Structure 1
Amino acid sequence: MTLTNGLLLLGITLLLAYALCLEWWLPRRRGNTLLQVNLLRKNRLDSVIFIVLLGIVIYRHFSGQGDPLTLYLLTFLLIATLYISFVRRPKLLFKPQGFYYANWFISYTRIRHLHLSEQGVLFIQLEKRALPIHVQHISDLENIKNILYKDQKVT
């Protein structure tokens, strides 16, 4: 196995571990999920650029009669990237003690202030920064408010 194939295999393994962590392990951590909210996707252009460049590498490798194992690994990397970029939805998971945002757990005790903008973006002010929550459906903001104010008594 060449160094290129080894690095591709390592990248694919890390990408699969990341996807498995997001879809299976994270929702089961820290108790039952009280609410799951789909968020808007960001950086779609970056994903498209990476996928196009990966497609060019696959085409060049295929037309140049390269190693078949490398071609399979590149194709699987393309499929995994398509999944991470376009199939998987970013989520906000509310748990009894806090919530997961961008794969990080944030305790309800860290919340200092909530602000809803006119564009429908919820800003959750923590100690040092504000988290912008771009929900996919505006009706989810009501569910978030019910979780935060009713169950956790956030002011």
Structure 2
Amino acid sequence: MRKQAPISATSIPASMGKTIYPEPYASLVQGRLKRKLGEFFGLTNFGVNLTHLSPGAVSALAHSHSKQDEFIFVLEGTPTLVLGEEEFTLNPGDCYGFKAGTGIAHQLVNRSEASVVYLEVGDRTAGDEVEYPNDDLKATQLPNGTWALTRKDGRPIR
């Protein structure tokens, strides 16, 4: 890989509402704009995303990882952190780490009238599984790193 000069994070291409979720879940993240900073620089051990949530948008379905840790740092706005059965209003400068294997589901929800901007960092430990306690979904990371979505009982999603 060749050296490159530092660049503005906002110059990295972004995807609006892109997700592996099927409908009706996919529409919930339509107001999410994600810039995959880590992928842009070829990082393979962890991911870093600069994420914007429009008013009313969610970061993801409430979920927990079996093997991959996650971390968020709020840059702008006041998202609501849904953490299991509890909710917390976050402010710029607030952060939170989600330890894998706890089974505690989490998501960010923008219930404000302004955009939310945050950094999310996650490791890429192989063999991860993601549980969605509020939805009939399960994600399993395949050996090639891609994700397979099924119903909780293993049935395929049609």
Using structure 2 for the length normalisation, give the TM-score.
0.23
Question: Larger helix proportion, structure 1 or 2?
Answer: 1
Question: Larger strand proportion, structure 1 or 2?
Answer: 2
Higher RCO (Cα < 8 Å, 6 or more apart): 1
Return the index of the structure with the highest Cα Rg.
1
